[in-house]
Structures are given as structure tokens and as C-alpha cells.
Amino acid sequence: MLAISAGRSRLGGSGADGLVHPDSVVAEELSPIAAAWRVAEQHGLALAELLAAARTDLLARTRFRDRTESALAGARASATVLAGLPLVGIGLGQLMGAAPLSVLFASPAGAFLLPLGTALACCGLLWTDVITRRGTA
């Protein structure tokens, strides 16, 4: 992307246009740099100062995102443990001789309860993922 911008600048075009590709993996990170480049081209300002401000902004955003991710790691771990508790309960039931597997796989009630429990556990994990994504967005 930077090579494209440099080529555009050498040929008399706008280098900022070379940085703007919405389908790029780093499009979000390069958009402030492209905006700073455009401002420098249009108004004749020093590009170095604008790029320093864009760099400071990107570093602050990265630090904030990292702190948020680490703060939400506990919630994600708790959700994973809670989703695994039914399996632990089934295992303990088997060890105690209660035969929960035969209930889940061989009885009419199990034909209803096994898919229901699985669906609820999956919904809980998906809901946790939605909540934690909102926290990082």
C-alpha cells in the first residue's frame, strides 16, 4: 500500500488515495494517515506533524483496545467454564452410577433435553461473544 502511495505521489497524483482500500486488512489503521496526507496536500501543512498526531492517536487506540481485551478475558474464561459445567455434571453422574447418558440418549425425555441443553449452552456462548465484542468495538 505504501508503494502504491509513493508511486502515485511520484507521478503527480495524491498519495493519500493509494492508502485508501476498504477491503484491506489495515484499512482502519491507514485511514488517519490518508486523512493527514490529504490535509497536508490540500492546505500545504507539514506532513510530519500531522503524521506524528496520527501516530499518537493510533498508539492510544491500540493501548485502549489491548486493555479492553485483557479486561474481558476473565468474562470469556468464565463463560467457557460455565459452558463446560454440564459436561462435568454428566461425568460425575456417570461416576456415581446415576446413568445420565442412558437418560439423555435412550429415553424420550433425553430426546428433548439433550438438544435443548446443547442449544442453550451454545446460545450462552454466542451471547457472551456478542457482549464482549460490543465492549471492544
Q: For the segment 51-83, what is each residue's pLDDT rounded down to a tens digit?
A: 888 889 889 988 998 998 898 888 889 988 999
User: Does 82 or 136 have the greater pLDDT score?
Assistant: 82
Establish if 132 belongs to a structural domain.
yes
- In terms of residue numbers, what domain contains 84? 71-137
DSSP code, position 13: S
pLDDT range class, residue 50, cuts 50, 70, 90:
confident
Q: How far is CA 66 from CA 60, 78, 136, in A?
A: 10, 19, 9
pTM metric for this prediction:
0.59
At residue 1, the pLDDT reads 65
Q: Quote the CA–CA distance of 40 and 136 in Å, as a whole number.
A: 32
Establish if 21 belongs to a structural domain.
no
Establish if 65 belongs to a structural domain.
no
Establish if 77 belongs to a structural domain.
yes
Q: Which amino acid is at 20?
A: V
**Residue range 117-122: mean pLDDT, rounded:** 92
For residue range 11-46, what is the model confidence (pLDDT) as tens digits? 777 777 777 766 776 677 778 888 888 888 888 888
User: Do the Cβ atoms of 15 and 6 come closer than 8 Å?
Assistant: yes
Establish if 39 belongs to a structural domain.
no
Q: Which residue stretches of 97-107 are H helix? A: 100-106
Q: Which amino acid is at 70?
A: S
Establish if 128 belongs to a structural domain.
yes
Establish if 84 belongs to a structural domain.
yes
Establish if 131 belongs to a structural domain.
yes
Could you give the number of structural domains in the chain?
A: 1
3-state secondary structure 35-95: HHHHHHHHHCCCHHHHHHHHHHHHHHHHHHHHHHHHHHHHHHHHHHHHHHHHHHHHHHHHH
